[in-house]
Amino acid sequence: MSYHRTPIDTRTLTLSVLMPVFNERDTLALIVEAVHAAPVAPIKIELIAVDDGSTDGTREVLQQLHAAGRIHKLHLQPGNRGKGAAIKHAMGLSTGDIVMVQDADLEYTPEDWPVLLAPIIAGKADACFGSRFLGGPHRVLFFWHSVGNIVLTTFSNMLTNLNLTDMETCYKAMRGDFARRIQPTLQSQRFGFEPEITARLAKAQARIFEVPISYSGRTYAEGKKINWRDGVAAFWHILKYNLFS
C-alpha cells in the first residue's frame, strides 16, 4: 500500500457511505436522514444502498428515497446473499476519497463520523475503526455478546499482530483507492466481511487508527440479525483470511 501522509482538503472530499440493507423498513428513513444530517460539512456525501433481498417493504422505501434523491445509488440484489456481498457491491459503485460502512438500523449514529474520519483526513491513517469498547456511551445489553466479541477480536489480533479492541465493529472507514483496489478480491458473503477486511488491511500494512464511538445495540426482538452461528463461523473466517487467502 502507498501511504498518503498529507492532509485531505475537506472542501473537495467525497465520502462514500456504503449501506447494506435487509428488512429495515422501520428504521431506514430515519437513518438516511441521519446520514444527511451528519456533522461533516463541507464534505460531500455519496450514499450507496444495496438491498439484500428484503421482504418486508424495505425495497419500496428504498426506491422512494432514491427517487427523492436521498439515496444517490441503489442496487437491489435478486435474493438474500448476505451483508458482505452487499458491501462488496456497494464498494464497487463508490467513487469517494473515503469509504465507510453504515448499517441501516439505528445502532450506530452518524454523529460519530467526525472522530472516525479525522485520522484519515489528517493523513495519519489509511483506515479507522470505531470501537464500542473504548469508553463511548452504549446501551447495556448482552454479556455473552461482549465476551464473544472480545474472544474473536483477540483471536484476530493474534494472527494480524494488531491491538484492536473491536474487530467486529460496523464502523470501518478507509481510503477509497484502497477499498476499490481490494473490492474484486473480497470473498465473504455474510458477517465474515469484518475479519476479512481486517486481515486484508493488516496484510497491506495499512496504518489503522481506532477511536471511541457510541453504540445503541438492539435486541433480537428489535431486529438484531447476527447470531451464535455467525460467531462460530467468524473463527473460520479469521483463520481463512489470515493464513490461507
pLDDT in tens, 102-124: 999 899 999 999 999 999 999 99
Please report whether residue 39 resides in a domain: yes
Residue 167 per-residue DSSP state? T
Confidence of residue 220 (pLDDT cuts 50, 70, 90): very low
Residue 21 per-residue DSSP state? E
Lowest mean pLDDT segment, chosen from 27-36, 97-106, 135-144:
135-144
Per the model's pLDDT, the better-predicted residue between 145 and 49 turns out to be 49
Q: How many CA atoms lie within 13 A of 123 on its CB side?
A: 7
Q: C-alpha dihedral over 118, 121, 126, 129, to 10 degrees?
A: 20
Please report whether residue 140 resides in a domain: yes
CATH number for the domain harbouring residue 134: 3.90.550.10
Structurally, the chain folds into a number of domains equal to 1
Please report whether residue 79 resides in a domain: yes
CA 165 – CA 242 distance, rounded (Å): 18
Confidence of residue 191 (pLDDT cuts 50, 70, 90): confident
Please report whether residue 176 resides in a domain: yes
The domain of 173 spans 14-244
Give which of 131, 86, 114 is closest to 10, Cα–Cα. Answer: 114
**Residue 222 pLDDT more than 50?**
no
Per the model's pLDDT, the better-predicted residue between 220 and 167 turns out to be 167
Please report whether residue 142 resides in a domain: yes
Please report whether residue 84 resides in a domain: yes
Please report whether residue 4 resides in a domain: no
Cell of 12: 473537495
Are 48 and 94 in contact by the 8 Å Cβ rule? The answer is yes
Tens-digit pLDDT profile for residues 126-171: 999 999 988 766 655 556 677 778 899 999 999 999 999 999 999 9
Please report whether residue 2 resides in a domain: no
